[in-house]
Amino acid sequence: QVQLLESGGGLVRPGGSQTLSCAASGTILTAVGWYRQAPGKQREFVAGITAGDGTHYVDFAKDRFTLYRDNAKNAVYLQMDSLVPEDTAVYYCNALPPSHSWGQGTQVTVSS
């Protein structure tokens, strides 16, 4: 059974940093995307990493977020810097493009 487990969320002050983890079981991570859903909004794509480690970021994530993987741990990480309240959301990892199955995500709250 394929499972992706997100972790690393929490309460962060504006301007702070947080690193989210996406760990996989039952599959080897190849192309992975991070997505987020803010309160009252639809889920949106944030960033993705391809099987060849190419990365893509949407505009609000460029220059603030960094994707990287650790093949030994079969995990993908999303490092988020210079966080602002608008980054408050539940963050999910999924395949790229996403499958129909979503995990529980990890909550990131940016607030003073």
List pLDDT tens digits, range 19-65. 999 999 888 889 999 999 999 999 999 999 999 999 999 999 999 99
Average pLDDT for residues 80-95, to the nearest whole number? 97
**Residue 3, pLDDT above cutoff 90:** no
What gap in Å lies between CA 45 and CA 109, rounded to an integer? 18
pLDDT of residue 29: 87
pLDDT of residue 72: 93
pLDDT of residue 62: 96
CA-wise closest residue to 45 among 63, 57, 53 = 57
